[in-house]
Structure 1
């Protein structure tokens, strides 16, 4: 709670500082009220007394943008939980072990602080866009690239469009792979079926096919609730299952060995767990009152951070280095482990639909597809789902693949770009006010000025600038080192033939070695039930 509160206070200080400085400049130059161009943005800042900052400074009244058919901010918080918490959460205990208990918790908290802060910045960026440029109050397919366009220019818009599409595409592929593994384990445990999990990748893609045709998050709010509830229940079961196994596993537990590679890979996993920012602007745009998106981020992050710390700490202290990819197979109480499997699967399945929304809308914009269901939408989204399925069938190293995605595209979308856009947008806004105030620019002139780096240094309060430098440094250094380690690990790892190659070699039936449980202990041979036949053969 402290880390999110800190980011909100810094953000609040930033907004009030800028508005107050503008008001002061106006008074010093003989103006009796804030000039007109300030009013839209000032109306988006709500003070503790319930008045907007514009009302407080100038005594006027304005109405923030409202989307009468949009979702409530509490529902937006549910969307954030459903979008973020689940797939990354079940890998956090292993990531915590790779980083070390103390340093690992520190990384989780820092990632929460900085990604929560950048989430708030994304919300403020979109509120500013809607108030400075009225066209954004209508339906917008790609709000994230529009931020890049207004902050840095047309080149940034195209670059971010490609990056956003790639990021959401890779996330969807990871989730599809993880969901297939969960279903394979379920059938193995309860029915003794040893079907190749590649078959389930194709089956899941077929089930997702009609759902990815939905237009926006407003069209599948029920799925967001299912996703958030199921992942929350899964977190509780993980903690309960770990406590159940502690009497047998803790005496023989061995923590993972520490190394630079393991430590940097942990960063990628942790950032992946906080990597929902690509969908944030889409969720905010569909809110009834988009200016309240900060509330959604605040409460969802408090809940997510508490869950992440509890799950990762409990899993590591009980199972140590016996975990492989995720904590689920290490839980030895069968009904709990498989209930978690079901809950995580229920989480991942709708999350894939949520993740596909900004990806699909971006690609449809490139191909000028109409904003309603038709042949173009059907073909584009079918092709995207097919490509994601093909990637999942090709890349079978789940853990390393997850780390690589977290270290590259998600680090950019979550830890770096929101702050860059925020600093440039705020500086260009303040620079424009100064130009209007000095008579160099008319208030009716197009709002198309792009700030320079020197403008950011000049116009940004030093405390806010320092905090953003720390946030960007954390994201950049961690992302580069984690990406390097993930690529090195991926190249050096034992290669597994893609699914479609193995289908030709072995058929559709898989081969089972031992049980389905990753037994605990230094040598993965300790069973709570004193029956090593349930233990799986580790790779």
Structure 2
């Protein structure tokens, strides 16, 4: 009896507190059901804090893309540094708009106040309808699974280089198989909050590797008698567009990480911190590699370093980062497909089987197009551009406009300057992304396609069988 009285007292006290809370900037009171749901979303048990979320964002984004930035400047010259600065600002704006989209959905729809496994597609569906969900799903899967292919190729390259220096040599195709098998168990974790230590390790190893790379390439560059800087070209700008966009490919994971935060309304603080960290990594890396080596820089800056302990340490650091970040970037599309396939969110054998098969499919794609730069440019120019430049401002405007005149929901009136900025990003994203995608596909067809390893293996095996006398 005493327990029941205490519970009733607490309920009346909570309802009394809720009735006195006013909408920000309004004179009307929030409906009690709405506030109760909002309160639930503000305190997710075991959720991420601002600092942890920022580390997740930075650790996931600062990966393989940073290694291609010095090479991207070959086609743009020093003006490519302005592209990096511009994309940094635009990515920050887009990321914060995505965060506001999710806050607005929580304010209006009760079903989004708990845990949601596919937040970005939900934003797209509430913004423009069913097609927004479908297009977002396709773009996210191509982007993040494409990033997974890049990771498999890059890990295999680094591992082959490390082991090769010790006198043990295997083909790149063989290393990719070994890498994929080793990565499979890491993908079995549930959501980002389940493996937050991995994000910390991913960021620390990246920062350490980038510092060593910058110092080493500058020292190597000082020993060159002459440095040649190719003149900028239009095609070079298109390649740089795709490469730099891939370096900011984490926008599609923003809502997933925001959904795991204790207080989702504070996501914008985490996004600002993460993007600033990225800029402090990207700008010196691009400038140092380009100006130190000139035309000698390769699409993977690590391959441009001279042999020595510095290169070994960098390769180890990058290996640790890539292995740590792989489960982070493949987690959002995995959660989306698991929701579609009705796979339970707790740890179970169905999740393990599905994610294992997903990694094997990525291995097949990586074996088919084993080019780090080719996959990176294509994904960066196409789906990354959509998810970072086009969808966030468009969805934000649609969702914000839909709050006007709705009772019990805070109105979000977009200023004229912000609306102009949003449409500018959309136009730049569509035009630049289309041109860069066409250029990337042309490069793949012209230079990157070769006979896949598995076809060579089966052809050799078939030839061997034919040569055996009956």
Scaled by the length of structure 1, the TM-score of the pair is: 0.77
User: Residues 63-142 of structure 1: matches in 2 within 5 Å?
Assistant: 65-101=42-78, 103-142=79-118
1:482 aligns with 2:436: yes
Distance 1:239 1:494 in 2: 28
Instruction: Give the structure, 1 or 2, with the largest relative contact order (CA under 8 Å, sep 6 or more).
Output: 2
Q: Say which structure is richer in helix.
A: 2
Distance change (3 Å), C-alpha of 1:497 and 1:39:
same
Alignment check: 8 A CA contact 2:143 2:383 kept: yes
Mark the runs of 5 or more structure 1 residues left unpaired by the alignment.
1-18, 24-32, 45-61, 437-442, 448-454, 508-539
The Cα of 1:198 is off from its aligned counterpart by 1.4
Distance 1:494 1:158, change over 3 A: closer
TM superposition shift of 1:338? 2.0
1:467 has 2:442 as partner: no
User: Which of 295, 301, 311 is 2:269 aligned to?
Assistant: 295
Which residue is 2:17 aligned to? none
Residue segments in structure 2 that go unaligned for 5+ positions in a row? 1-22, 462-470
- Contact residue 241 and residue 333 of structure 1 kept, 8 A: no
Query: How many residues are paired up?
Result: 437
Would the alpha carbon gap of residues 245 and 425 (structure 1) be closer, same or farther in structure 2, given more than 3 Å must change? same
Give, in angstroms, the shift of residue 220 of structure 1: 0.8
Post-superposition offset of 1:256: 2.9
Q: In the alignment, which residue of structure 1 is the partner of 2:222? A: 247
Residue of structure 2 in register with 1:34 after alignment: 28
Q: Does the 8 Å contact 2:369/2:448 carry over to 1?
A: no
Give me the CA root mean square deviation: 2.4
Q: 2:387 aligns with which of 382, 394, 413?
A: 413
CA distance in 1, matches of 2:417, 2:386: 23
Deviation readout 1:465-523 (Å, 9 max, x if unpaired):
1111222222222211111111111111163221212334679xxxxxxxxxxxxxxxx
**Residue 198 of structure 1 contacts residue 499 of structure 1 at CA under 8 Å; is this kept in 2?**
yes
Cα distance in 2 for residues equivalent to 1:372 and 1:67 = 17
2: distance between equivalents of 1:278 and 1:331? 32
Q: How far apart are the structure 1 equivalents of 2:273 and 2:32? A: 29
Deviations 1:442-477 (A, max 9, x none): x5xxx9xxxxxxx99xx5321111111222222222
Q: CA deviation at 1:374?
A: 2.4
| Distance across 2 between alignment mates of 1:111 and 1:294 | 17
Distance across 2 between alignment mates of 1:212 and 1:410: 22
1:81/1:228 contact within 8 Å kept = yes
**CA contact under 8 A between 1:165 and 1:363: conserved in structure 2?**
no
Within 5 Å, give how 1:453-532 maps onto structure 2: 460-493=414-447, 495-504=449-458
Which residue number corresponds to residue 278 of structure 1? Answer: 252
> Aligned in 2, Cα 1:330/1:505: closer, same or farther, shift over 3 Å?
farther
